[in-house]
């Protein structure tokens, strides 16, 4: 696969309706969000369908919007001026890309690039702030969202400092065990990123990642076929990850 090179897309490119509606907002802000809040968010949201490789969030510009993806895969990392991209973590929609920078009036700490075709949703910070004043429940949901992100980043920092490569990879796999377990208890994980990008997220080399895949396979914890990993023993993987 060729290296991912982010490309800028004009702000007005391919507008599209928020097809996912209340289900999308429930996924990113929690269930049972009042219908009137959902309706107002729908009116405020700008939605664009963008191709893989598009630069979704830029660390070179102050943020004015809260940004999310409704569908597709994106990566957060560093996009230097030479057009290359160094991924640090991945995001699968529906999910937040940047819920914090606009409140600070600051440039995002990371760039975000579409790994697949995505639906990008952006909501102006000023409009969200006005909506929060009318609907305190929305303010509470956003505080919870930001608190979860802080906790997630704290856990990631702790793992980098205190877990070995095998433990970090086990934790990474567990985070992606989202599908229902098969009758034998196994869970299938599809890797949507290049292996070298996954290695970058784990602060290891691609060679180390390949070694870990072989190591966990020999232990009977996983079975690997191309970019598909079947987790055979979820409990053992949890023990290895220390969770």
DSSP string, 196-227: HHHHHHTTS-HHHHHHHHHHHHHTTSEEEETT
Rounded to whole angstroms, the Cα distance separating 108 from 196 reads 24
| pLDDT score at 154 | 83
Predicted pLDDT at 62: 96
User: How many Å apart are CA 164 and CA 206, to the nearest integer?
Assistant: 15
User: What is the Cα–Cα distance from 51 to 53, expressed in whole angstroms?
Assistant: 6
User: Cis before residue 197, ω within 30 degrees of 0?
Assistant: no
Which pLDDT does position 101 carry in this prediction? 95
Could you read off the pLDDT tens digit of each residue along the chain, which spans 243 residues? 334 455 555 444 444 444 457 899 999 999 999 999 999 999 999 999 999 999 999 999 999 999 999 999 998 988 887 778 888 888 889 999 999 999 999 999 999 999 999 999 999 999 999 999 999 999 999 999 999 989 888 877 877 787 889 999 998 899 888 777 888 888 999 887 788 888 888 888 989 999 999 999 999 999 999 889 999 999 999 999 887
User: b/e map of 199-232 (b: 16 or more CB within 10 Å)?
Assistant: bbbbebeeebbeebbeebeeeebbeeeeeebbbb
Q: Return the pLDDT at 7.
A: 53
The pLDDT score that the predictor gives to residue 5 is 52
Residue 35: both structure tokens together = 């219908």
pTM attached to this predicted model: 0.71
What span, in angstroms and rounded, lies between the C-alpha atoms of 135 and 146? 18
| Rounded-to-integer distance, Cα 162 and Cα 242, Å | 11
The per-residue pLDDT for 6 is 52
Domains of the chain in sequence order: 21-160 (2.60.120.10), 164-241 (1.10.10.10)
**What pLDDT is stored for residue 17 in this prediction?**
43
Edge-to-edge strands, sheet with 118-124: 46-50, 118-124, 65-71, 95-98
Count of helices and strands (H, E) across the chain? 9, 11
Q: Are 41 and 25 in contact (CB under 8 A)?
A: yes
pLDDT at 211: 94
Instruction: Give the per-residue pLDDT at 98.
Output: 95
């Amino acid at each position: 696969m060729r290296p991912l090179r982010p490309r800028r897309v004009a702000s007005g490119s391919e507008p599209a309706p928020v097809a996912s509606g209340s289900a999308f907002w429930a996924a990113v802000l929690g269930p049972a969000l009042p219908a009137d809040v959902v309706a107002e968010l729908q009116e405020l949201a700008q939605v664009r369908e963008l191709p893989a490789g598009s630069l979704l969030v830029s660390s070179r510009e102050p943020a004015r919007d809260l940004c999310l993806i409704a569908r597709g895969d994106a990566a957060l990392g560093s996009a230097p001026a030479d057009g290359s991209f160094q991924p640090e973590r991945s995001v699968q929609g529906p999910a937040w890309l940047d819920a914090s920078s606009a409140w600070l009036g600051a440039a995002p700490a990371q760039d975000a690039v579409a790994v697949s075709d995505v639906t990008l949703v952006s909501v102006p910070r000023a409009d969200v702030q006005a909506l929060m004043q009318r609907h305190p429940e929305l303010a509470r949901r956003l505080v919870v969202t930001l608190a979860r992100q802080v906790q997630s980043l704290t856990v990631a920092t702790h793992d980098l400092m205190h877990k070995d490569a095998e433990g970090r990879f086990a934790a990474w796999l567990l985070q992606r065990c989202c599908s229902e377990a098969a009758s034998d208890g196994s869970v299938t994980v599809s890797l949507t990123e290049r292996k070298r990008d996954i290695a970058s997220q784990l602060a290891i080399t691609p060679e180390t990642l390949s070694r870990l895949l072989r190591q966990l396979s020999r232990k009977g914890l996983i079975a690997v076929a191309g970019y598909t990993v079947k987790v055979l023993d979820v409990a053992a993987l949890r023990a290895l990850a220390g969770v």
